[in-house]
């Protein structure tokens, strides 16, 4: 089974700063099967990035995803107040879904 490890667990930043979240897979995976979600407090997760680098509807271009193989990255170029949330990576393969443990982006 593929394990997704996110780092760091918590990212303490200020508005305007750059956020970089890592998602590492225990073995090489297809980029097409890697997604990212944003979850704000008390809300359901919301699809943010799919296919490792395609932005979902409604998200501005300060959000970007990249990576291949075992290493994937979510970048928020300049944090806005509404971006402080928890971010999860997710993988699908062989009819099974795996989530990373999550990265909380919090106010410094």
Partner 1 sequence: QVQLQESGPGLVKPSETLSLICSVSGASSSTHYWNWIRQPPGKGLEWIGFIHYTGNTRSHPSLYSRVSMSVDTSRNYVSLNVNSVTAADTAVYYCARWSEDQRAFDYWGQGTLVTVSS
Positions touching partner 1 (CB under 8 A) are 1, 32-33, 35, 37, 43-47, 50-51, 54, 56, 88, 90, 92, 95-102
Counting Cα atoms < 13 Å in the Cβ hemisphere of 48 gives: 25
Q: Which is nearer to partner 1, 28 or 78 (CB)?
A: 28
Minimal distance, residue 95 CB to partner 1, in Å: 5
Buried b (16+ CB within 10 A) or exposed e, 23-41: bbbeeebeeebbbbbbbee
Q: Which is nearer to partner 1, 78 or 106 (CB)?
A: 106
Residues 73, 64 contacting (CB under 8 angstroms): no
Q: Which is nearer to partner 1, 14 or 43 (CB)?
A: 43
Minimal distance, residue 12 CB to partner 1, in Å: 18
Contacts for 93-97: CB closer than 8 Å, 24+ residues apart: 93/2, 93/29, 93/30, 93/33, 96/1
Q: Which is nearer to partner 1, 16 or 58 (CB)?
A: 58
Minimal distance, residue 104 CB to partner 1, in Å: 11
């Amino acid at each position: 089974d593929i394990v997704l490890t996110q780092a760091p667990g918590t990212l303490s930043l200020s508005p305007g700063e750059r956020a970089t979240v890592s998602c590492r897979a225990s073995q090489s995976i297809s980029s097409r099967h890697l997604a990212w979600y944003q979850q704000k407090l008390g809300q359901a997760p919301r699809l943010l990035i799919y296919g490792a680098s395609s932005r979902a509807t409604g998200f501005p271009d300060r959000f970007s995803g990249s990576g291949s193989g075992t290493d994937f990255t979510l970048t928020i170029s300049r944090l806005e107040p509404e971006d402080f949330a928890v971010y999860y990576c997710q993988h699908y393969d062989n009819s099974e879904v795996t989530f990373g443990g999550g990265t909380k982006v919090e106010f410094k």
